[in-house]
């Protein structure tokens, strides 16, 4: 490698790239890990980028995947820069020591955004603090929405997930030149990025590409194939084209994005609705990822760290005033939540008893959060005791009504609270000592697999990051978990009785 303090240059399998030094670390942005997904490559698996001669400039973020902007209600809280261009399959590297001799641990970051929004260019995800703490940080873009997760009869499923595998293969082949150790890679993601991480844990093509994994506010899951097909068919009906990859590839991209936004506007983690998701495809996702992991059929020997925020649902309900509307709906909203979570009346009554002072929106929000996140993570930790670590982020935002909401923890994970985009969720005056604790736990896990508290066992230790020093609570969500377990047993008994009749 050739390096100067102003322009570090590193060779990759496809050509050399020039970054720059910022805050004492070397930063490379917009490096292509796959060819632009345009023309005949739209809706197809990724292929390697064309090699280039000379030294490619890598000082600015590359194009982001095509996406619709957030609604005004969400945009006040969430940053989502859009950078035009076709070459959207790119990644970024922050490293304290470019060169093949360092062999530093690596964290690879998968952004969230419901598989329809987000990018690696969000300022909250600045990787410099990881690099300053001796960790090579990689973040990447992948295809979103219908181009990444549409389901068609004439194209392979899950191209967005295949993009992520291609990026991990790039890390395996290239990261040593940036100072990283390809045998010490941690894959980490939040929300849709965590769901993707869960799928990659179980993907045969991703085995051996990472050693540890972090799932923040997202559990392994597979979406219903018919639900994803309906999303595509509704878009096709609006566009007046066949529901095929060939027809969608020929359509104007801006029209696709408008149709996607219109069809998906009622989608919500709390309310459900049409949405894109990772599906079982018999290839990259051979079976439901959670079941594969719980049954021990995937990712043996991979250390896990999993976490959620105390009030995930508040980011889903506060923007646009949905929180108040759910409270007004009362029993109607509770009935909808029960249907959404596919649980019995006893679960809802149990939550009411456990949280007698909670309003309807809080009960609904916690029910859905447990159904989507905490219960699957609890199952996964139970299946992998001794190598799983669980935490809860409980510090409430300084902004009204948000509480410890979904995505609030990210400014603390990356220790990027000085960015204006972090303050959109946290408000002013977020505690630096909490960022030190949260970021430090992630660094320790990436380095050693031990974030600094006891691994999951029969006592169910959960590290709680809130005001003041972090603490460990034992089984803080066990009462809710027991309600779900009893409900599964009861419904199973009912089903057996119906069969006998």
Which of 119, 139, 174, 191 is catalytic? The answer is: 191
Residue 310, domain member (yes or no): yes
Which of 14, 111, 371, 406 is catalytic? The answer is: 406
Q: Which two tokens stand for residue 84?
A: 């035009």
Report the C-alpha gap between 405 and 317 in whole angstroms. 10
Report the C-alpha gap between 23 and 157 in whole angstroms. 41
Residue that the structure tokens 């197809």 belong to: 44
Residue 376, domain member (yes or no): no
Query: Any catalytic annotation for residue 16?
Result: no
What is residue 498's predicted lDDT score, i.e. its pLDDT? 29
What is residue 420's predicted lDDT score, i.e. its pLDDT? 97
Residue 168, domain member (yes or no): yes
Dihedral of the CA atoms 369, 372, 378, 384 (nearest 10)?
-150
Report the C-alpha gap between 454 and 468 in whole angstroms. 20
Residue 413, domain member (yes or no): yes
Q: Which domain holds residue 460?
A: 9-219+277-316+387-500
Task: Considering only CA atoms, give the Rg of the chain.
Answer: 22
Residue 336, domain member (yes or no): no
Whether the CB-CB separation of 387 and 379 falls below 8 Å is answered with no
Whether the CB-CB separation of 111 and 189 falls below 8 Å is answered with yes
What is residue 5's predicted lDDT score, i.e. its pLDDT? 67
What is residue 494's predicted lDDT score, i.e. its pLDDT? 45
Which of 120, 174, 196, 312 is catalytic? The answer is: 312
Bridge partners, 308 (sequence order) = 392
CATH code, domain carrying 142: 3.40.50.1820
What is residue 266's predicted lDDT score, i.e. its pLDDT? 76
What is residue 253's predicted lDDT score, i.e. its pLDDT? 94
Residue that the structure tokens 């809130």 belong to: 466
Query: Any catalytic annotation for residue 196?
Result: no
Q: Which two tokens stand for residue 201?
A: 């844990």
Report the C-alpha gap between 474 and 456 in whole angstroms. 10
Whether the CB-CB separation of 107 and 135 falls below 8 Å is answered with yes
Of 420, 421, 429, nearest in space to 398 by CA: 429
Q: Using DSSP bridges, classify how beta strands 471-474 and 461-465 pair: parallel, antiparallel or unpaired.
A: antiparallel
Residue 135, domain member (yes or no): yes
* Helix 345-354 and helix 360-369, axial crossing angle in degrees, nearest 10: 120
Report the C-alpha gap between 406 and 472 in whole angstroms. 21
What is residue 114's predicted lDDT score, i.e. its pLDDT? 96
What is residue 6's predicted lDDT score, i.e. its pLDDT? 75
**Could you write out the three-class secondary structure of 73-98?**
HHHCCCCCCCCCCCCCCEEEEEECCC
Query: Any catalytic annotation for residue 119?
Result: no
Q: Number of folded domains in the chain?
A: 1
CB atoms within 10 A of CB 68: 21
Residue 224, domain member (yes or no): no
Residue 405, domain member (yes or no): yes
What is residue 489's predicted lDDT score, i.e. its pLDDT? 81
Residue that the structure tokens 């979103």 belong to: 144
pLDDT by 10s per residue, the chain, length 501 = 434 467 999 999 999 999 999 999 999 999 999 999 999 999 999 999 999 999 999 999 999 999 999 999 999 999 999 999 999 999 999 999 899 989 999 999 999 999 999 999 999 999 999 999 999 999 999 999 999 999 999 999 999 999 999 999 999 999 999 999 999 999 999 999 999 999 999 999 999 999 999 999 999 999 999 999 999 999 999 999 999 999 999 999 999 999 999 999 878 888 787 799 999 999 999 999 999 999 999 999 999 999 999 999 999 999 989 999 999 999 999 999 999 999 999 999 999 999 999 999 999 999 999 999 999 999 999 999 999 999 999 999 999 999 999 999 999 999 999 999 999 999 999 999 999 999 999 999 999 999 999 999 999 999 999 999 999 999 999 999 999 999 988 766 544 332 333
Report the C-alpha gap between 424 and 161 in whole angstroms. 29
Whether the CB-CB separation of 367 and 351 falls below 8 Å is answered with yes
Question: Coil, helix or strand for 137?
Answer: strand
């Amino acid at each position: 490698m050739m390096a100067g303090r102003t322009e570090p240059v590193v060779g990759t399998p496809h050509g050399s790239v020039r970054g720059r030094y910022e805050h004492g670390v070397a930063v490379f942005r917009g490096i292509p890990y796959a060819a632009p997904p345009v023309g005949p490559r739209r809706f197809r698996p990724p292929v390697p980028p064309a090699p280039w001669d000379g030294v490619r400039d890598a000082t600015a973020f590359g194009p982001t995947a095509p996406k619709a902007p957030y609604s005004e209600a969400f945009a006040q809280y969430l940053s989502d820069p859009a950078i035009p261009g076709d070459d959207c399959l790119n990644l970024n590297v922050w490293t304290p020591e470019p060169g093949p001799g360092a062999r530093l641990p690596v964290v690879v970051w998968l952004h969230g955004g419901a598989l329809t929004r987000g990018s690696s260019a969000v300022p909250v995800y600045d990787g410099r603090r990881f690099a300053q703490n001796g960790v090579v940080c990689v973040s990447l873009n992948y295809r979103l929405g219908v181009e990444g997760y549409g389901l068609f009869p004439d194209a392979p499923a899950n191209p967005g997930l295949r993009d992520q595998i291609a990026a991990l293969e790039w890390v395996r082949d290239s990261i040593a030149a940036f100072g990283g150790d390809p045998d010490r890679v941690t894959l980490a993601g939040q929300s849709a990025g965590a769901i993707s991480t869960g799928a990659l844990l179980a993907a045969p093509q991703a085995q051996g590409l990472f050693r540890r994994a972090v799932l923040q506010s997202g559990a392994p899951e597979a979406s219903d194939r018919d639900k994803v097909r309906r999303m595509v068919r509704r878009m096709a009906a609006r566009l007046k084209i066949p529901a095929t990859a060939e027809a969608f590839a020929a359509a104007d991209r801006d029209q696709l994005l408008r149709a996607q936004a219109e069809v998906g506007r009622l989608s919500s983690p709390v309310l459900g609705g049409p949405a894109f998701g990772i599906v079982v495809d018999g290839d990259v996702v051979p079976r439901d990822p959670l079941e594969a992991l719980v049954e021990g059929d995937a990712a043996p020997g991979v250390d896990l760290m999993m976490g959620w925020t105390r009030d995930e649902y508040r980011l889903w309900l506060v923007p646009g005033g949905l929180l108040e509307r759910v409270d007004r709906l009362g029993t109607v909203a509770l009935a909808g939540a029960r249907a959404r979570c596919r649980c019995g009346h006893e679960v809802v009554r149990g939550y009411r008893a456990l949280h007698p002072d909670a309003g309807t929106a809080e009960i609904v929000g916690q029910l859905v959060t447990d159904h989507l996140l905490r219960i699957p993570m609890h199952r996964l930790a139970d299946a992998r005791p001794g190598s799983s670590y669980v935490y809860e982020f409980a510090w409430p935002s300084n902004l009204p009504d948000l509480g410890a909401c979904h995505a609030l923890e990210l400014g603390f994970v990356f220790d990027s609270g000085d960015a204006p985009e972090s303050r959109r969720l946290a408000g002013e005056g977020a505690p630096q000592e909490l960022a030190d604790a949260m970021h430090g736990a992630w660094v320790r896990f990436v380095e050693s697999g031990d974030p600094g508290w006891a691994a999951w066992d029969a006592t169910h230790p959960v590290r709680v990051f809130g005001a003041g020093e972090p603490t460990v609570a034992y089984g803080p969500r066990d009462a809710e978990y027991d309600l779900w377990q009893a409900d599964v047993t009861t419904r199973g008994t009912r089903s057996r009785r119906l069969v006998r009749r």
